Amino acid sequence: MSALDAATCADDAGLVYVTDAQPGISRRRAGTGFAYRDAKGRPLRDAETLARIRRLAIPPAWTEVWICPDPRGHIQAVGRDARGRKQYRYHPRWREVRDSTKYERMLAFAAALPAIRARVDRDLRRPQLDRVKVLATVVRLLDTTHIRIGNPEYAHSNDSYGLTTMRDRHVKIHGKHIEFRFRGKSGKQHVVAVDDARLAKIVRSCRDVPGQELFQFYDHAGTHHAIGSADVNAYLRACSGSEFSAKDFRTFAGTVLAAEELWRDPRPEQKYRRKQAVTRAIERVAGCLGNTATVCRKCYVHPSVLDAYEDGAALPTTLRGPRTYQALRPEERRAVALLLERQRTAGQRTLSARLAASLKQRRAARHEPELRRAA
């Protein structure tokens, strides 16, 4: 999200867009606890502000702590953890808006996905192992394996890997069979396999490039270079014409997988059995994405899917919507149809609520003169 978009979202949420470059409250060790100073270096004694800071539960191990002086700031605190990584504490309202925006963009991503896949297909046929061909390979693997994109900082400090930080040692290729074995986020070991003759040939060529990094390409001068997550996201923007990123693949996949898992069997009548079914479905999806069940449910499954299941809605078999959706895979079309139906229902409820509120205001305005006379 750009700074301009973030500022707009913050304003819409009734918050103030801030950065840790602005003057803020600092934290210093004081005996067994901490002392705080305001932006001018004066001791902070305001009880309400100190109570807000306590509610933020900033970890004691954080250093270089910056605390927003405004309780409406979209970022409430920034610091560095024991590994030196920058961490944030956000305003609760900001998290709600951010999550809502993330899920709203899912339908836009689904509409753009056929065009992205068509571009990837063309680029995979390029004759040379150039930058575009390798980027297309990574995007195809994102689409089929749901492996994280990867972060150099995690690879260096945690020895955990994603697609763009893979090393040659992490892949084995036998014919058309590709097998990735690597340590992922939180130290979890992953084994991910895919059968694709064209991808296997390209990945084998990437592995033959000198250097430890798996996904490398040759430029016009014959020099080899590794690609990173920023390169992949730039490629996705070029393919789609929109601000989509590698993470959109995982969010969309998590939602589609959850819908398929939930509606695989008849919906139980008992509420506790439905909850058990949701738990099992989330656990299976988490296994596919390499997440914990908690993170999967919170970050990778559209809440409307779970709500629809609880409400007893059927998984649509036909999709009424823009033509771009029709090129999606069958299971994706079913999930998108469900989301569109829930969106229409929510829109009708919102409209009904607005009409009811408008009628209530009109009735109040009509009776106001009578109330004044009675007073």
- Give pLDDT, residue 374: 46
Structure tokens at 355: 């009409």
The alpha-helical segments, DSSP class H, found in 13-46 are none
Residue 16, helix vs strand vs coil: strand
Question: What pLDDT is stored for residue 346 in this prediction?
Answer: 66
> What structural domains and CATH numbers belong to the chain?
3-90 (3.30.66.10), 106-244 (3.90.15.10), 245-375 (1.10.132.120)
Give me the residue label for tokens 């969106």.
Answer: 343
Strand order in the sheet with 177-183: 171-174, 177-183, 189-195
Instruction: Tell me the pLDDT of the chain (375 aa) as tens digits.
Output: 556 567 777 787 789 999 999 999 999 999 999 999 999 999 999 999 999 999 999 999 999 999 999 999 999 999 999 888 899 999 988 877 776 666 678 999 999 999 999 999 999 999 999 999 999 999 999 999 999 999 888 888 888 999 999 999 999 999 999 999 999 887 889 999 999 999 999 999 999 999 999 999 999 999 999 999 999 999 999 999 988 999 999 999 999 999 999 999 888 988 889 999 999 999 999 999 998 999 999 889 998 999 999 888 888 888 776 778 889 999 999 999 999 988 887 654 444 444 444 454 555 554 445 444 544
Tokens describing residue 88: 């944030």
Nearest in space to 359 (alpha carbons), one of 351, 347, 370: 351
Tokens of 270: 């008992």
The CB-side HSE value for 105 (13 A sphere, CA atoms) comes to 16
pTM of the shown model? 0.73
Q: Which residue has the tokens 């999930």?
A: 335
| Closest to 182 measured CA to CA, from 197, 193, 195 | 193
Angstrom distance (rounded) from CA 317 to CA 36: 59
How far is 305 from 262, CA to CA, in rounded Å? Answer: 9
pLDDT of residue 345: 76
Asked if 315 contacts 334 with a C-beta cutoff of 8 angstroms, the reply is: yes
Strand pairing of 177-183 and 75-80? Answer: unpaired
Stated as kind and residue range, the H or E segment containing 140 is helix 131-145
Task: Provide the β-strand partners of residue 180.
Answer: 171, 192
DSSP secondary-structure letter at 175? T
Provide the token pair at 220. 């016009």
Closest CA to 257 of 276, 283, 232: 283
Q: What is the structure's pLDDT at 84?
A: 86
| Rounded CA separation 295/300 (Å) | 7
What is d(CA 155, CA 327) in angstroms, rounded to the nearest whole number?
36
What's the confidence (pLDDT) of residue 357?
Answer: 46
For residue 327, give the DSSP letter.
Answer: G
Question: Cα separation of 228 and 251, whole Å?
Answer: 20
